[in-house]
Structure 1
């Protein structure tokens, strides 16, 4: 158990470093826009591709670390991330940056993230696992709060030198943390042996009878799932704006980079509050997880629509800090929400497909918000589009939730009727109730 806590602390440090850089792309986007003299859409693409790569590759990365082990997979992640940032620092073409930063660095984050979740689950179980994973993921929010430090590096050394410094830090700090990330085989076997024989028999039988393709085809025929997955795509378009292009919006609002980094840091603090509140407080709210998620989406839309109307610095800070809090809740609960909308037997497939839809929406974000900015010279219309996508996502989740409740009630009603008729004694000769 003591080694398990060391794994948790190592994961927290890794999330702080890797996702602190990934989610603070707002600052790098400003640097790219000035240096490459490119459109907002083109400079936003590396950040959107990076976030997309870190999510869409979930299934592949999970398979890889199950084959070669946690530690080797995390080492690959450290190498990809460091080399991606290092290569980016020497480039003069924003399109190539989409590969080095977008693909390489994004995949590196995925190769770090998922194996750490896997190795942590070797030492903790049940509610303890939920708590320690929550603590690890808060590291990403702490990384967001380090925006002033990243901005200082950009301002003091230029973004090229800063990326080289960060690449070295990821290697020097990441490799020792990787050495800690080793799963205990005996504990993995112990967790497996704790499952009942009946459960293992059912799982093995179901795996033999249904192929992976068949399970995904079954999932895509489920109405509740079909109506909910586009909601994840729409929501990710809006969330991506706050991680990628919000910095340029603030710069257009006559704020300098120091003020922008401070606001982003406050959003990171709000992110921490949001993650912790949903992780430890959702179970005490007398509403289903899906309903809570819908309410948070609507609240996030409210903070988003208030951005263009926040004309003073104080009001802008208040609105964006609130947006950071609700954004943190959305990110912390997105996994549980994806599992909740999928059929129970297909929760793993539902989670994998959620990452695909969420990543696709992130990739499309620059073509929505930043493209509008390039054509109109203002992000206001793009922000209102984000509000619309939030509301539409909430509407789709609501439809799916109502349909699922209606289906569950119908199934329960049918089961009660079947039970009632089965309990009535029958005359074997006349086949009529006695």
Structure 2
């Protein structure tokens, strides 16, 4: 596994840049709303579309790295993200950003994310995958933690110039981060560290997924948590602005949320492998904790109170992303793990895509974002309960498998004993 930690470090750098910027859209949302003098729904759509495409394109990204290799897929993701930022900086209408930022940046992030996840899973299986993925995913938390730097760029150079600067910087460091994949793929044929799974057809792998009852039961939970988390990444800035917080205070709160998310990812990365419950059960517990930690936000009016509550919520939010992939692979066949992750994020993307419309409609009906926050709390709660049910089914299937294996073993031993008796006679 000499290349294992090199790939993890490569993923950490890529996630810091590309996912960190994606999850910091709250700040860009405010800039776009003022620059184009538009509604919160229209200014929030590029971010929601980007997060949705980031999830929707999981199956396409999987096909790309399976057919052309991880190096090509990684460079493609970096190129699309940088071109997206550059083109978006020249947009004169908010609708143009739906394509340049929403679709292009989402697909680029999808390629970067899924390529790295699959590469890590080739080296690390079982509970070790949680630790390795968690360390790589610390990058997105570090990226969100750098929100004050983004706010400084927007204030000093305007958002258009800031996107151009980021485009050049990300292209340079992104290509350098992908480079270890190129070296590793040349050495791959000379090492036996990676366990090669016999190839199966596209239809066979998805057929194996559909046969797993525990996996199919958990699918609605992915959609629910996608909607709830996207609200916290896209519309939370509008909620805080509506609550009377100034932009500097909002930037500070989002920066502290990035710090809290980083703490959550780090804690879960280091402890998840040593916890007795399965990753799926841990995933459900974190959903419940997120629901409880977000509820006090409805009753706090001071900026300090809102910031403290959001910091606590961001810790559980960071934990969700660490356990999300292991929780799904725990329910899926080993030879279909990439497809299982892609389907999970596809449903996550559906939830992300509807957030601006639901938020806007609830705001129109009630005059505040409180009702949208109630929905967010409920989604976390129900997704946790569904995950518990899926975990229970998984345990029953596991015990059934052990029973069948034990029965088969006993039958074989009885047959051997009878053969020995017959030979003795």
Q: Which TM-score applies when normalising by structure 1?
A: 0.86
- 1:275/1:12 CA distance change after superposition, 3 Å: same
- 1:94/1:147 CA distance change after superposition, 3 Å: same
Between 1:164-173 and 1:405-414, the stretch displaced more is 405-414
Alpha-carbon distance, 1:128 to partner: 7.8
What is the 5 A alignment of 1:115-134? 115-117=115-117, 131=131, 133-134=133-134
- 1:285/1:181 CA distance change after superposition, 3 Å: closer
Contact 1:40 1:371 in 2 (8 A): no
Residues 255-297 of structure 1: CA distance to partner in whole angstroms, max 9, x if unpaired? 1111111111111111111111111101222322222111111
Alpha-carbon distance, 1:8 to partner: 5.1
Separation in 1, partners of 2:88, 2:209 = 39
Alpha-carbon distance, 1:129 to partner: 7.3
Q: Residue 253 of structure 1: which of 243, 248, 256 is its match? A: 243
Separation in 1, partners of 2:355, 2:274 = 34
Separation in 1, partners of 2:411, 2:55 = 49
Between 1:319-328 and 1:280-289, the stretch displaced more is 280-289
- 1:375/1:36 CA distance change after superposition, 3 Å: farther
2:6 is equivalent to residue 26 of structure 1: no
Q: Which TM-score applies when normalising by structure 2?
A: 0.87
2:74 is equivalent to residue 74 of structure 1: yes
Give unmatched runs, 5+ long, in structure 2: 420-425
- 1:287/1:74 CA distance change after superposition, 3 Å: closer
Between 1:126-135 and 1:97-106, the stretch displaced more is 126-135
Q: Residue 349 of structure 2: which of 359, 366, 375 is its match? A: 359
Separation in 2, partners of 1:160, 1:132 = 36
- 1:25/1:186 CA distance change after superposition, 3 Å: closer
Aligned residue pairs, count:
417
Partner of 2:37: 37
Separation in 1, partners of 2:27, 2:156 = 14
Alpha-carbon distance, 1:62 to partner: 3.3
Partner of 1:244: 234
Partner of 2:423: none
What is the 5 A alignment of 1:155-304? 155-185=155-185, 187-192=187-192, 195=195, 203-204=197-198, 207=200, 211-304=201-294
Alpha-carbon distance, 1:418 to partner: 5.6
Separation in 2, partners of 1:118, 1:419 = 35
Residues 87-109 of structure 1: CA distance to partner in whole angstroms, max 9, x if unpaired? 21222322221110011111122
Between 1:236-245 and 1:413-422, the stretch displaced more is 413-422
Contact 2:289 2:316 in 1 (8 A): yes
Give unmatched runs, 5+ long, in structure 1: 429-434
Q: Residue 379 of structure 1: which of 346, 362, 369 is its match? A: 369
> Secondary structure, in 3 states, of the residue corresponding to 2:330?
helix
Alpha-carbon distance, 1:171 to partner: 2.4
Q: CA RMSD in A?
A: 3.0
Alpha-carbon distance, 1:30 to partner: 1.4
- 1:183/1:253 CA distance change after superposition, 3 Å: same
- 1:163/1:292 CA distance change after superposition, 3 Å: same
Alpha-carbon distance, 1:117 to partner: 4.7
Between 1:356-365 and 1:60-69, the stretch displaced more is 60-69
Contact 1:147 1:265 in 2 (8 A): yes
2:384 is equivalent to residue 394 of structure 1: yes
2:342 is equivalent to residue 347 of structure 1: no
Residues 172-192 of structure 1: CA distance to partner in whole angstroms, max 9, x if unpaired? 433344445423346422444
Separation in 2, partners of 1:19, 1:326 = 18
- 1:409/1:120 CA distance change after superposition, 3 Å: closer
- 1:74/1:163 CA distance change after superposition, 3 Å: same
- 1:220/1:119 CA distance change after superposition, 3 Å: closer
- 1:133/1:218 CA distance change after superposition, 3 Å: closer
Contact 2:59 2:339 in 1 (8 A): no
Contact 2:135 2:265 in 1 (8 A): no
